[in-house]
């Protein structure tokens, strides 16, 4: 029996579990806890319990899958940005291509726990590029599934977890070693995307960075790519920020500090929700709550002769996990359909061009993928009291376009270089621990 | 306060071609496509001669100042003030024959040329999926001009003389004229029976209204784009406006060698695109003060457009939606140029005055203008042409609203062909349309982006709706390869309950704007034309 809050894309995995009711209930409870209205969020409501009848407005803000930060840091060169984020990054090995320094996971004795990796993709879309032995790209697999969903399955139904991993990786359940899906010993990790909270994992907890996930992109791994972050961002977006109210980015995203200003996703989501809230609307995220692959933009793809590709959207970009009505996609692959030949041989992804450049990186395709979520709004929300700004935007001439989220009261001129140096170490990240982030930034400043 | 020299650089008005930053905007313009002869030396001699003819920015601005003064003094158009101006641009292959370092141009689209981009731009293709250039008048493979010359004049006869003179010179140095076409402002065709207003395109809409302001100061100390709005806080992170509706964009977005626009920081100067010996150059050092020119010859089928509008208005059957309003919603403006956002139900010339025609936004910026917030696209459709290509305020899929400044282009087009007469049906339709010309610093990131990412895409730049496919294509100019079918939503309530789809699915003719030629070129500085390319 489905719960009140249904799983992302209404995916039916739970029906295959040993106790579907339990899984649905646990999911419903977790989402319900995340989206519960509170006095702090006067315009926020729970989609399953609207404040009034009527047809809600819907907004499905689109953003692109290749990290904007990588584009900013690579002069908007798609191939260069795609190259920069192509490989998974091991925790504790320094600053990644998005200027994030993820600290080590530590054992109970304080020793480094090696081998854990994440993908440096921070637009709620992650991918793996599968290549043939000659290095040519054969297939690219994309996911936007939050780790929380998989953690819940891991906690309550290990057999289902193994089954799903076996299907997604193509190894079959027998090919999945369940012990690799769970941590074998207690670990701690200071997570910059959770306000530098010290996270603790017990032996037997789900390991979201397991090797199967890293190899096959089963679900999201980057520290900020969580459903919890999405919800917190939308809730913070429902508040009115600054007086007079900030209505433009980067002022808005920096004032509210509800997300990372250098991404496509966070400012876009926050701005869309906030636009509704500023019109005195009640807002929420539509159930089933999730982050979704919306579509692929076919226009910039051509074949090896620079000719357009018919049916690229339907035949080359294949949804693997999506809702029954096909409006919400969680997982997809990009592959040249069987039978498309080049010089008598099966054509491969690496034979195609994107924006006139041969495809050698999965990130080139991510650039053409648009993501979305579904926000909803109903009229009649009470007039809100403006929230005081936490931050304001500053810029560094050494990194044109890169926004330095700076604490209110600290002028842009004063400690710019110093602040940026600290950002290189650990970037301030607001969601979901907005204030904690700013305490840290204040320390640096 | 002294302007920041990085943000407001001193523009070399003796060296930059006048059409780039000044805009010829003459009523009569001839495009000449020349093919080099086999003797490079002769070709270079012609270019030396051509360099003397090319009009610098200074001359264009001086003329415009004089014209404005005379207009103010007399209250009438100063018909005695006439000029003939010239601009020139080169294909990549041409530059390779003229120089040893043209290969350092990295702009892939420029290097490969328009025909290679045609598929991505969604141009009509043959049934087998191979590009069809059969209708291209100029610019198809094998017919790409080495030099594209734009000659503009106030007087038809003076223009013709100048064109003849250039052709004579070209011929004397062994160059071949492979294309020549003259466009006229449609008012040129007015007679006793017909009045065609100035500045309109063939579908009947005023065109070329919204151009970005350009940052930079002139050697005389004045801003290139005059400011009626006083600059406020330089730390403000919202765009700065020269006048209402006219945001300021860094000159380097249009001319190489100057500060670029930064998508997240509209009042900050981005470093100029590197040239020559600088790290990671995008072009040779002599490309400074130059710009990339996109030319698209767009044939317009006026009867087909209005058949589409009439059929859809009739099919929708709303009493408040006649064909005129439907056409205006698809354009985003009424024929007078009045913005739909200012006058939703009917054309109103009072909303097309200098102070109002461009004074609007779509979202919260409208509040200060006493206009409604239309972030849901209920007044002006999200898919309306002018909203698609210039979303103004509000975030888009490329991030902050200010990021849209980085994709602005400088449009310099002019109509060609006689205006359509609804009382004189044509079969087949006469050849008329727009000689679309735009200058920008990066073809892929500006012109092509607007086409592929926004105009030819139902989903972008915004989707404030629950339609997973988005709110529709640019039905006016957008292209869609293969099926050619496009649709867009009109919205009459923000909750989506009154969304109505407009489609060309049942239209006999599915494309009313058909590309029939063009090319990608580079418009060098005048000194480069004389000293590097010519000689």
CA distance B456 to B310: 23
Q: What is the mean pLDDT of residues B42-67?
A: 97
CB pair distance less than 8 Å for A400 and B271: yes
Q: Would you state the pLDDT for residue A422?
A: 39
* Chain B residues whose beta carbon lies within 8 Å of the beta carbon of residue A56: 495
Candidates A2, A44, A52, A47; CA nearest to A22 is: A2
* Chain A residues whose beta carbon lies within 8 Å of the beta carbon of residue B262: 395, 400-401
Task: Tell me the shortest Cα–Cα distance from A159 to chain B, in angstroms.
Answer: 34
Q: Would you state the pLDDT for residue B535?
A: 85
The band of A225, judged by pLDDT with boundaries at 50, 70 and 90, is: very high
Q: Which of A248, A272, A307 sits opposite B131 (nearest CB)?
A: A307
Give me the phi and psi of A79, to 5 degrees please.
-65, -45
Give strand pairing partners of B24: none
CB pair distance less than 8 Å for A61 and B464: yes
Q: Which of A57, A299, A356 sits opposite B112 (nearest CB)?
A: A356
pLDDT in tens, B141-156: 999 999 999 999 999 9
Give residue A273's Cα distance to chain centre: 17
Higher pLDDT, B1 or A437: B1
- Confirm or reject contact between B148 and chain A (CB < 8 A): no
Task: Tell me the shortest Cα–Cα distance from B194 to chain A, in angstroms.
Answer: 41
* Chain A residues whose beta carbon lies within 8 Å of the beta carbon of residue B496: 55, 57-58
Judge whether A205 lies within some domain. no
Residue A4, pLDDT above cutoff 80: yes
- Lowest mean pLDDT: which of A279-288, B7-16, B97-106, B391-400? B391-400
A394 → chain B, closest CA residue: B235
Token pair in block for residue B301: 């089928």
Residue B159, pLDDT above cutoff 90: yes
B264 → chain A, closest CA residue: A401
- Confirm or reject contact between B253 and chain A (CB < 8 A): no
* Chain A residues whose beta carbon lies within 8 Å of the beta carbon of residue B468: 60, 294-295, 327, 372
Q: How does B46-59 read in b/e, with b if 16+ C-beta sit within 10 Å? A: bbbbbbebbbbbbb
* Chain A residues whose beta carbon lies within 8 Å of the beta carbon of residue B391: none
B452 → chain A, closest CA residue: A299
Q: What percent of chain B has pLDDT over 90?
A: 83
Half-sphere exposure of A385 (CA within 13 A, CB side): 4
Residue B531, pLDDT above cutoff 80: yes
Token pair in block for residue A196: 């530098």
Higher pLDDT, A442 or B385: B385
Structural domains in chain A (count):
1
pLDDT in tens, B200-234: 999 999 999 999 999 999 999 999 999 988 776 66
Q: What is the mean pLDDT of residues A229-237?
A: 93
CA distance B493 to A54: 13
Query: Which strand (E) or helix (H) includes residue B150?
Result: strand B147-153
- Lowest mean pLDDT: which of A345-349, B136-140, B398-402, B448-452? B398-402
Residue A440, pLDDT above cutoff 70: no
The band of A425, judged by pLDDT with boundaries at 50, 70 and 90, is: very low
A397 → chain B, closest CA residue: B270
* Chain A residues whose beta carbon lies within 8 Å of the beta carbon of residue B463: 59-62, 372
Residue A68, pLDDT above cutoff 90: yes
Q: Would you state the pLDDT for residue A195?
A: 67
Please enumerate in sequence order all residues whose Cβ is within 8 A of that of A166, keeping only pairs 6 or more positions apart, or say none. A172, A173, A174, A175, A176
Task: Tell me the shortest Cα–Cα distance from A54 to chain B, in angstroms.
Answer: 9
* Chain A residues whose beta carbon lies within 8 Å of the beta carbon of residue B456: 299
Give strand pairing partners of A199: A189
Q: How does A120-134 read in b/e, with b if 16+ C-beta sit within 10 Å? A: bbbbbbbbbbbbeee
CA distance A125 to A366: 8
Q: How does B11-28 read in b/e, with b if 16+ C-beta sit within 10 Å? A: bbbebbbbbbbbbbbbbb
The helix/strand/coil state of A138 is strand
Task: Tell me the shortest Cα–Cα distance from B395 to chain A, in angstroms.
Answer: 6
The band of A415, judged by pLDDT with boundaries at 50, 70 and 90, is: low
Judge whether A258 lies within some domain. yes
Higher pLDDT, B261 or B128: B261
The helix/strand/coil state of A71 is helix
Judge whether A391 lies within some domain. yes
Q: Would you state the pLDDT for residue B235?
A: 64
Query: Which strand (E) or helix (H) includes residue B496?
Result: none
- Confirm or reject contact between B401 and chain A (CB < 8 A): yes
Token pair in block for residue B512: 């009313």
Residue B54, pLDDT above cutoff 90: yes
Q: Would you state the pLDDT for residue A417?
A: 46
**pTM > 0.90:** yes
Judge whether A292 lies within some domain. no
- Lowest mean pLDDT: which of B224-238, B250-264, B401-415? B224-238
Q: Which of B120, B268, B400 sits opposite A267 (nearest CB)?
A: B400
Residue A2, pLDDT above cutoff 50: no
Mean pLDDT over all residues of chain B?
A: 94
Task: Tell me the shortest Cα–Cα distance from B463 to chain A, in angstroms.
Answer: 5
Judge whether A182 lies within some domain. no
* Chain B residues whose beta carbon lies within 8 Å of the beta carbon of residue A312: none
Mean pLDDT over all residues of chain A?
A: 89
Q: Would you state the pLDDT for residue B127?
A: 53
Angle between helices A265-278 and A227-237 (to 10 degrees): 40
Judge whether A240 lies within some domain. yes
Interface test with B, best of A71, A78, A244, A248 (most B CBs within 10 A): A248
- Lowest mean pLDDT: which of A23-27, A35-39, A327-331, A389-393? A389-393
Q: Would you state the pLDDT for residue A419?
A: 47
Half-sphere exposure of B97 (CA within 13 A, CB side): 17
pLDDT in tens, B76-107: 888 889 999 999 999 999 999 999 999 999 99
CB pair distance less than 8 Å for A72 and B264: yes
Residue A104, pLDDT above cutoff 50: yes
pLDDT in tens, A275-324: 999 999 999 999 999 999 999 999 899 999 988 898 999 999 999 999 99
CA distance B5 to B451: 33
* Chain B residues whose beta carbon lies within 8 Å of the beta carbon of residue A76: 445
B127 → chain A, closest CA residue: A310
B442 → chain A, closest CA residue: A76
Q: Which of A57, A268, A400 sits opposite B395 (nearest CB)?
A: A268
A354 → chain B, closest CA residue: B120
- Confirm or reject contact between B485 and chain A (CB < 8 A): no
A374 → chain B, closest CA residue: B466
Candidates A139, A142, A138; CA nearest to A126 is: A142
Task: Tell me the shortest Cα–Cα distance from B195 to chain A, in angstroms.
Answer: 40
Q: Would you state the pLDDT for residue A401?
A: 81
CB pair distance less than 8 Å for B393 and A248: yes
Task: Tell me the shortest Cα–Cα distance from A215 to chain B, in angstroms.
Answer: 29
Helix spans in A319-379 (H): 362-366
* Chain B residues whose beta carbon lies within 8 Å of the beta carbon of residue A248: 237-238, 364, 393, 400-402
Task: Tell me the shortest Cα–Cα distance from A76 to chain B, in angstroms.
Answer: 9
pLDDT in tens, A322-370: 999 999 999 999 999 999 999 999 999 999 999 989 999 999 999 999 9
Q: Would you state the pLDDT for residue A434?
A: 39
Show me where the domains of chain B are located: 18-296+517-533, 299-409+416-436+443-516
pLDDT in tens, A140-185: 999 999 999 999 999 999 999 999 999 999 999 999 999 999 999 9
- Confirm or reject contact between B460 and chain A (CB < 8 A): yes
Question: DSSP letter string over A169-234?
Answer: HTS-GGG--GGGGB-SS-EEEEEGGGTTEEEEE-TTSB-TT-HHHHHH--S--STT--HHHHHHHH
Higher pLDDT, A94 or A132: A132
Residue A443, pLDDT above cutoff 80: no
Q: What is the mean pLDDT of residues B420-437?
A: 93
Judge whether A137 lies within some domain. no
Half-sphere exposure of B30 (CA within 13 A, CB side): 25
Q: What percent of chain A has pLDDT over 70?
A: 92
Give me the phi and psi of B521, to 5 degrees please.
-135, 170
Task: Tell me the shortest Cα–Cα distance from A33 to chain B, in angstroms.
Answer: 25
- Confirm or reject contact between B116 and chain A (CB < 8 A): yes
- ∠ CA(B299), CA(B305), CA(B310), 5° rounding? 170
CA distance A4 to B210: 50
Residue B126, pLDDT above cutoff 50: yes
B458 → chain A, closest CA residue: A297
Residue B7, pLDDT above cutoff 70: yes
Instruction: List all residues of chain B from 214 to 243 with a beta carbon under 8 Å from chain A.
Output: 235, 237-238
- Confirm or reject contact between B265 and chain A (CB < 8 A): yes
Give residue A85's Cα distance to chain centre: 14
Q: What is the mean pLDDT of residues A72-76?
A: 87
Q: Which of B108, B117, B464 sits opposite A357 (nearest CB)?
A: B108
Q: What percent of chain B has pLDDT over 70?
A: 98
CA distance A143 to B225: 47
- Confirm or reject contact between B484 and chain A (CB < 8 A): no
Q: Which of A58, A268, A275 sits opposite B465 (nearest CB)?
A: A58
Residue A238, pLDDT above cutoff 90: yes
Interface test with A, best of B280, B466, B478 (most A CBs within 10 A): B466
A329 → chain B, closest CA residue: B468
Radius of gyration in angstroms for the set of CA atoms belonging to chain B, rounded to a whole number: 23
Q: Would you state the pLDDT for residue A245?
A: 93
A53: domain range? 47-61+230-287+376-444
């Amino acid at each position: 029996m489905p719960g009140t809050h249904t799983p992302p894309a209404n995916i039916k995995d739970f029906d295959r579990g040993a106790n579907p009711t339990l899984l649905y209930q646990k999911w419903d409870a977790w989402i319900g806890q995340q989206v519960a209205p509170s006095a702090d969020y006067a315009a926020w409501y729970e989609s399953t319990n609207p404040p009034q009848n009527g047809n809600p407005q819907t907004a499905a803000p689109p953003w692109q899958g290749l990290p904007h930060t990588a584009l900013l840091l690579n002069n908007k060169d798609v191939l260069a940005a795609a190259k920069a984020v192509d490989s998974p990054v091991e925790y504790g090995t320094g600053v990644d291509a998005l200027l994030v320094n993820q600290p080590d996971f530590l054992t109970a004795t304080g020793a480094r726990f090696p081998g854990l990796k994440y993908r440096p993709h921070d637009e709620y879309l992650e991918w793996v590029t599968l290549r043939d032995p000659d290095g040519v790209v054969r297939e690219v697999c994309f996911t936007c599934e939050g780790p929380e969903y998989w953690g819940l399955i891991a906690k309550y139904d290990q057999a289902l977890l193994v089954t799903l991993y076996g299907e997604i990786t193509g190894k079959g359940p027998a090919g999945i070693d369940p012990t690799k899906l769970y941590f074998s010993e207690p670990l701690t990790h200071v997570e910059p995307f959770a306000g530098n909270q010290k996270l603790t994992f017990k032996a037997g907890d789900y390991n979201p960075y397991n090797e199967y996930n890293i190899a096959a992109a089963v679900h999201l791994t980057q520290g900020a790519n969580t459903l919890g972050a999405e919800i917190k961002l939308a809730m913070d977006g429902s508040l009115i920020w600054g007086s007079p109210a900030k209505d433009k980015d980067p002022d808005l995203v920096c004032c509210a500090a509800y997300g990372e200003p250098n991404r496509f996703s966070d400012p876009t989501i926050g701005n869309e929700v906030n636009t509704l809230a500023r019109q005195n609307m009640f807002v929420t995220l539509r159930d089933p709550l999730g982050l979704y692959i919306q579509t692929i933009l076919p226009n910039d793809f051509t074949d090896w002769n620079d000719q357009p590709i018919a049916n690229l959207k339907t035949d080359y970009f294949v949804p693997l996990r999506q809702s029954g009505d096909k409006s919400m996609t969680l997982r997809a692959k990009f592959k040249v359909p069987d039978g498309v030949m080049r010089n008598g041989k099966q054509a491969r992804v690496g034979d195609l061009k994107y924006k006139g450049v041969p495809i050698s990186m999965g990130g080139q395709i991510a650039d053409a993928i648009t993501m979305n979520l579904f926000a909803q709004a109903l009229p009649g929300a009470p007039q809100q009291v403006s929230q005081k700004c936490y931050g304001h935007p500053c810029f560094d001439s050494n990194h044109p376009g890169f926004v330095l989220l700076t604490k209110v009261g600290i002028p842009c001129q004063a400690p710019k270089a110093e602040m940026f140096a600290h950002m290189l170490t650990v970037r301030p990240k607001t969601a979901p621990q907005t204030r904690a982030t700013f305490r840290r930034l204040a320390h640096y400043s | 306060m002294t302007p920041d020299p990085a943000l407001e650089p001193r523009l070399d008005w003796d060296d930059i071609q006048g059409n780039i930053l000044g805009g010829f905007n003459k009523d009569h313009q001839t495009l000449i496509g020349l093919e080099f002869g086999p003797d490079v030396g002769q070709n270079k001699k012609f270019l030396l001669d051509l360099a003397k003819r090319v009009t610098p920015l200074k001359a264009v601005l001086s003329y415009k100042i004089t014209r404005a003064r005379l207009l103010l003094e007399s209250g009438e158009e100063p018909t005695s003030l006439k000029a003939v101006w010239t601009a020139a641009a080169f294909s990549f292959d041409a530059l390779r024959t003229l120089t040893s370092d043209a290969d350092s141009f990295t702009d892939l689209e420029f290097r490969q040329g328009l025909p290679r981009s045609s598929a991505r731009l969604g141009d009509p293709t043959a049934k087998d999926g191979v590009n069809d250039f059969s209708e291209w008048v100029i610019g198809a493979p094998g017919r790409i001009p080495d030099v594209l010359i734009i000659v503009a004049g106030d007087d038809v006869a003076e223009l013709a003389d100048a064109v003849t003179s250039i052709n004579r010179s070209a011929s004397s140095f062994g160059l071949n004229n492979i294309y020549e076409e003259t466009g006229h402002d449609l008012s040129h065709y007015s007679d006793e029976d017909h009045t065609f207003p100035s500045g309109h395109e063939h579908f009947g809409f005023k065109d070329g209204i919204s151009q970005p302001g350009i940052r930079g100061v002139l050697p005389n100390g004045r801003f290139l784009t005059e400011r009626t709005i006083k600059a406020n806080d330089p730390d403000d992170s919202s765009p700065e406006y020269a006048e209402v509706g006219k945001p300021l964009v860094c000159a380097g977005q249009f001319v190489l060698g100057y500060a670029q626009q930064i998508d997240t920081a509209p009042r900050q100067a981005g470093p100029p695109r590197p040239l020559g010996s600088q790290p990671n150059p995008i072009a040779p050092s002599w490309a400074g003060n130059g710009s990339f020119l996109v030319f698209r010859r767009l044939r317009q089928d006026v009867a087909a457009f209005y058949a589409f509008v009439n059929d859809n208005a009739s099919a929708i059957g709303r009493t408040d939606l006649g064909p005129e309003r439907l056409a205006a919603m698809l354009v985003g403006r009424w024929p007078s140029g009045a913005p739909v956002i200012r006058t939703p139900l009917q054309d109103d010339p009072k909303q097309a005055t200098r102070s109002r025609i461009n004074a609007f936004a779509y979202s919260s910026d409208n509040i200060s203008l006493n206009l409604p917030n239309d972030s849901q696209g209920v007044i002006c459709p999200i898919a309306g042409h002018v909203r698609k290509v210039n979303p103004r305020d509000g975030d888009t899929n490329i991030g902050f609203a200010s990021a849209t400044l980085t994709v602005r282009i400088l449009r310099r087009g002019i109509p060609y062909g006689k205006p359509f007469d609804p009382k004189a049906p044509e079969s087949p339709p006469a050849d008329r349309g727009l000689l679309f010309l735009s200058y920008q610093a990066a073809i892929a990131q500006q012109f092509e982006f607007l086409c592929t990412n926004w105009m030819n895409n139902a989903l972008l730049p915004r989707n404030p709706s629950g339609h997973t496919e988005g709110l529709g294509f640019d039905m006016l100019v957008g292209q869609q390869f293969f099926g050619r079918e496009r649709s867009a939503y009109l919205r009459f309530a923000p909750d989506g309950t009154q969304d109505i789809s407009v489609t060309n699915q049942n239209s006999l003719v599915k494309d009313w704007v058909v590309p029939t030629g063009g090319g990608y070129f580079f418009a060098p500085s005048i000194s480069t034309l004389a000293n590097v390319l010519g000689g």
